[in-house]
Structure 1
Amino acid sequence: MNKKRKIKQNLQAYSFLLPNLILFIVCTLYPVVWALKYVFYQYGGYGTGEPRFVGFENLARVFRDSVYWKSVANTFVYGFGKIVFIIPLAFFLAFLLNKQTKGNSVAQSIIFLPTIMSSAVMGLVFYLLFNAYNGEVNKMLMSVHIINRPINWLGKDHAMQTLIITAIWGGVGNYMVYFIAGIQQVSQDAIESARIDGAGRLKTIWYIIIPMLGPILKIILMLAITSAFHDITNVMVLTEGGPTNSTMVMSLYGYRYFFPVSAAESTVPQYGYGAAVSVVSAVITGIVTILYLKASKKLDDIY
């Protein structure tokens, strides 16, 4: 009887897991296997003939592709610029707004609102704001005489900074909520003890609050790193990787070989080379993740 009951319980558990397992196989495992297969083939999609086996030619092409490696460098610049500004800003906002008051709740909602906005809509909004000819940013700066003529914010010299600003505006609310949750779990007794011992506000933050936020800080950093490496919509809407590939990132570069987006590119998809680019990009992302996980263990020792 106990054996039948155990089997019944196991079947119930597996029935709950089955939908997720099916989705994992169809939406994650199968695409990965498909991409790994076509790394070794030259294939332009349906109507272009059968896939042709080319061995390691696609991978060799990736390592010779200067534009791809420029996209890798741009990805690191974009990710570093985003993380350096968004994490301190999110913590600052969380520290200011963590108390449960009506005004703080309204402010939290306003700051968090961009995180639930469509990335495409957000990119379009910032495109209109930073437009070189009639953008509101140039109008405002010229009205207060900070600049004398419009700045091409989406040109080669400023496009990356504009992308970073967009990413900060769209993501700071999400990280702020995580920080607020962490701050509210900090022991008030420890804070009061520090104040009794004569510690000022800055010392209390640095020596008490931040160390106690170690676990949540590791999660926030991981989310910031992974989102920076996979952000594609903002770049696609604002700059399409241009001008002259100055804002091309890894994810967009691989995407364009699956779905060509301009007449300057080949009108025929290159699934084999796109798969090779995606695999190399995944390896780079994995290496960064491993290095971060090793570094995060040191945070455990410090905090």
Structure 2
Amino acid sequence: MIKTYTLPQGNATSPDVNMYWDTECKILFDCGPDEIESFLMFKNLFEMDGNSIGTIKAIVITHHHIDHLGGLKYFPKSIPVILNKNVLHFQNVNWNLIQGSERVIGSLIDTEDIKNKVLRRIVNEYDASNSLYDRKIITADSTSQEKVTVGPWTFVSTMGHSSSDLIAYNTLTGIAITGDIILPKIFFNAIIELDTDLQNLTSFRNEFYDEMDYILELNPKSLYIGHGEPLDYKRLTSSVNNTIKRMHRTERKITKAISDSKNINLTEMIEKIFKTFIPYDYFLPFSEVTSIYLDNKHDLHTN
């Protein structure tokens, strides 16, 4: 049985995030946000259900973003952690380590305030606490879709939503847990991120299409997602189809804008295409446009 614990992220603009507990295998999926209040809420609910932190046999990290990994620092280091090995690249990342990407972003965005918003959001996606230090870690490699098996669970490392995605599939129940790969009604799924040298931006947009196909091929009975209610296969298929249509539509718009312009101004492109969304979040439209810009074989590296 899968028990869901839904926690707030500590601000009004960010959606609540799900943690999942396999009551039979004693495996916890994701750790929640990095705010201590979120962890204490989880701990209280967890104990009210008759559990204790000491009963957790393993923690699974679906990807490295801080709303899924941030709470790990509050859990005992004796609990093994299962993850995509690329998560390790994003430990102990802070503002002082991103000077290269600051130059790259500055070459794309000509407004200092917007540039800083994007930079802060990029840094906030990563774990500055080095919470994986001195823990027992079980890793899988996303470059080969390497698999790790624990009891009825198979864990497959992929990339698309991020470079560090981990898809969990229970062969007995047909349940899959996929973090933020599939989120209905979310228009920005393939998130731009720093490369492993923290000097440039990279996109896994093309891999994201393969990632969605892989999940459909699993044919899960239920898909447990990072934000929102679980999906049956019919809703999963509908969500994937809608996501692909939306991505293709945006790609056509941006590719045409790039081909029509002698001097690319990503700020103007973002504001033109995502004008109504920008007041809520600038980073996600930036991520969307930049990922397509990269896929058009433009090099963002600057000296």
Considering fraction of residues, name the structure with more strand: 2
TM-score (norm 1): 0.22
Please say which structure displays the higher CA radius of gyration. 1
Structure with the larger RCO, 1 or 2 (CA within 8 Å, 6+ apart): 1
TM-score (norm 2): 0.22
